[in-house]
């Protein structure tokens, strides 16, 4: 027999209904809540059919098998894709399964294979959307590992102390505190948002933190021009101390060189303009054709685009911790300053760069939008 444990599949639906009314469910994002029932119905059905397993007896192996089944291959909204793993993790936490850590590990490990499978199966139809879906998942889908954070905080003190004594680091502009803040923020964001220690820093998440998050982060936004030299010193230090491999260090330095022109460009813009750039580029990568404010309005009103932008803006600014701010498209009608070129002031030094950038960013209008409640 394949399984000795007696399974009770009738409980699956009961568990899902209870989960829908739980605090765990309330902690999910709007998008995750919207897709949660579909995700769980599909996952449980395939788990029962292929693995003969109910929702209290998932294992690392059968979770991996289901993730690589039609659960991931059937073309659905990319919003479904980015919600899948956070929903499944929350569901298993709610059920208080005995082997939750193994389940969580399996789900985390299957993220990249899942999106690769979707891109392969859906060919050109899903390629662009799924690449973006994976990026958004990277920004929003990971839960904070408290044990990992404690270890990082412990190790980070010594890393920053060693960095402050580095000869090349000492010769860089800025005072020591500002330079260490850049290194500290990089380490912290990668650990908190991606659960990564230096030894397994991924090039994609590394680029997102350096090229997106830190550009907007209040702690580092004024010192963009020093990101590359400071982080280069940090990577070299990690390589010397064998905290990371030489090969990994070389890969990270390559990414750092690749984003340097973009960072230099962003340094010429106000923080608001940087955010405008990212949002506009993100919308256009999503297939939006935008040449006027009206085009942007029309695009925001279609499907889940408004929620997509809201999730994106929250994800790339985790320090807001979900707090409402006037940049949220939902509140555009209540604020006079909203993605408007009149809100951005540039000194004479940056006027030429601002004029060049002006042609690339389509501001959102102040059109009032009603929040969509998904049932």
Complete DSSP assignment for 298-321: HHHHSTTHHHHHHHHHHHT-GGGT
Place of tokens 């936004």: 221
What is the sign, positive or negative, of the torsion defined by CA atoms of 179, 182, 187, 188?
positive
The predicted structure's pLDDT at residue 347: 35
pTM across the whole model: 0.55
Complete DSSP assignment for 86-143: HHHHHHHHHHT-TTHHHHHHHHHHTHHHHHHHHHHHHHHHHHHHHHHHHHHHHHHSPP
- SS3 labels along 345-370: CCCHHHHHHHHHHHCCCCCCCCCCCC
Complete DSSP assignment for 173-201: SS-HHHHHHHHHHHHHHHHHHH---GGG-
Winning range, highest mean pLDDT, from 85-99, 143-157, 268-282: 85-99
Q: Show Cβ contacts of residue 219 under 8 Å, excluding neighbours closer than 6 positions.
A: 181, 185
The predicted structure's pLDDT at residue 9: 84
pLDDT in tens, 312-371: 888 888 887 655 454 444 433 322 232 333 223 333 333 333 333 333 344 444 444 444
The answer to which of 12-16, 36-40, 140-144 has the lowest mean pLDDT is 140-144
pLDDT grade, residue 74 (50/70/90)?
low
Mean pLDDT of 133-137: 52
Mean pLDDT of 294-318: 81
What is the rounded distance in angstroms from the CA atom of residue 47 to the CA atom of residue 236?
46
Q: Show Cβ contacts of residue 299 under 8 Å, excluding neighbours closer than 6 positions.
A: 283, 288, 290, 305
Mean pLDDT of 283-309: 77
Task: Say how many Å lie between the first and final Cα of the chain, rounded.
Answer: 42
What is the distance, to the nearest Å, from the Cα of residue 313 to the centroid of all Cα atoms in its chain? 10
Percentage with pLDDT > 90 across the chain: 30
pLDDT grade, residue 71 (50/70/90)?
confident
Q: How far is CA 201 from CA 161, 207, 224, 240, in A?
A: 21, 10, 21, 16
Place of tokens 């500290």: 184
The predicted structure's pLDDT at residue 102: 87
The predicted structure's pLDDT at residue 183: 96
Average pLDDT, rounded, for the chain:
76
pLDDT grade, residue 375 (50/70/90)?
very low
Q: What are the two backbone dihedrals, phi and then psi, of residue 217, each rounded to the nearest 5 degrees?
A: -65, 125
pLDDT in tens, 103-114: 988 888 887 777
Q: How far is CA 349 from CA 169, 226, 352, in A?
A: 28, 19, 7
Asked whether the predicted pLDDT for residue 247 surpasses 50, the reply is yes
The answer to which of 15-19, 30-34, 218-222, 286-290 has the lowest mean pLDDT is 286-290
pLDDT in tens, 178-227: 999 999 999 999 988 888 899 989 888 898 899 999 999 999 999 999 99
Query: Which residue pairs, CB below 8 angstroms and at least 24 apart, start in 171-175?
Result: 172/226, 172/229, 172/230, 172/233, 173/226, 174/223, 174/226
Of 75 and 307, more confident: 307
The predicted structure's pLDDT at residue 93: 92
Of 270 and 281, more confident: 270
**Rg (alpha carbons) of the chain, rounded to whole number:** 22
Q: Between 100-109 and 60-67, two packed helices, what is the crossing angle to 10 degrees?
A: 30
Asked whether the predicted pLDDT for residue 95 surpasses 90, the reply is yes
What is the rounded distance in angstroms from the CA atom of residue 219 to the CA atom of residue 221?
6
- Exposed e or buried b per residue across 209-245, where buried means at least 16 C-beta atoms within 10 angstroms of its C-beta: bbbbbbbbbeebeebbebbbbbbbbbbbbbbeeebbe
């Amino acid at each position: 027999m394949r399984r000795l444990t007696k399974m009770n599949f009738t409980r699956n639906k009961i568990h899902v209904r209870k989960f829908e009314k739980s605090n765990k469910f309330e902690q999910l994002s709007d998008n995750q809540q919207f897709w949660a029932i579909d995700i769980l119905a599909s996952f449980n059905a395939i788990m029962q059919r292929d693995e003969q397993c109910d929702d209290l007896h998932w294992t690392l192996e059968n979770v991996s098998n289901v993730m690589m089944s039609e659960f991931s291959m059937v073309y659905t909204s990319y919003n479904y894709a980015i919600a899948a793993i956070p929903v499944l993790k929350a569901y298993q936490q709610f059920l208080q399964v005995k082997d939750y850590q193994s389940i969580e590990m399996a789900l985390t490990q299957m993220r990249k294979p899942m999106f690769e499978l979707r891109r392969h199966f859906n060919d050109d139809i899903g390629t662009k959307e799924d690449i973006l879906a994976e990026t958004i998942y990277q920004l929003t889908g990971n839960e904070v590992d408290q044990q990992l954070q404690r270890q990082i905080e412990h190790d980070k003190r010594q890393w920053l102390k060693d960095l402050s004594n580095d000869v090349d680091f000492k010769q860089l502009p800025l005072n020591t505190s500002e330079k260490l803040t850049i290194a500290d923020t990089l380490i912290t964001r990668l650990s908190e948002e991606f659960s990564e220690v230096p030894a397994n820093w991924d090039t994609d998440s590394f680029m997102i933190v350096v090229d997106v998050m830190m550009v907007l982060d209040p702690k580092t936004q004024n010192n963009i021009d020093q990101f590359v030299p400071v982080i280069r010193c940090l990577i070299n230090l990690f390589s010397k101390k064998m905290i990371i491999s030489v090969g990994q260090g070389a890969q990270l330095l390559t990414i750092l060189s690749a984003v340097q022109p973009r960072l230099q460009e962003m340094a010429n813009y106000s923080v608001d303009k940087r955010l405008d750039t990212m949002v506009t580029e993100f919308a256009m990568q999503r297939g939006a054709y935008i040449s006027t404010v009206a085009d942007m309005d029309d695009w925001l009103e279609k499907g889940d685009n408004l929620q997509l932008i809201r999730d994106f803006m929250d994800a790339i600014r985790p320090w807001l911790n979900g707090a409402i701010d006037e940049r949220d498209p939902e509140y555009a009608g209540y604020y006079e300053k909203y993605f408007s070129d009149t809100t951005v002031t540039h000194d004479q030094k940056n006027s030429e760069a601002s004029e060049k950038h002006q042609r690339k960013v389509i501001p959102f209008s102040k059109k009032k939008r009603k929040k969509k409640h998904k049932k």
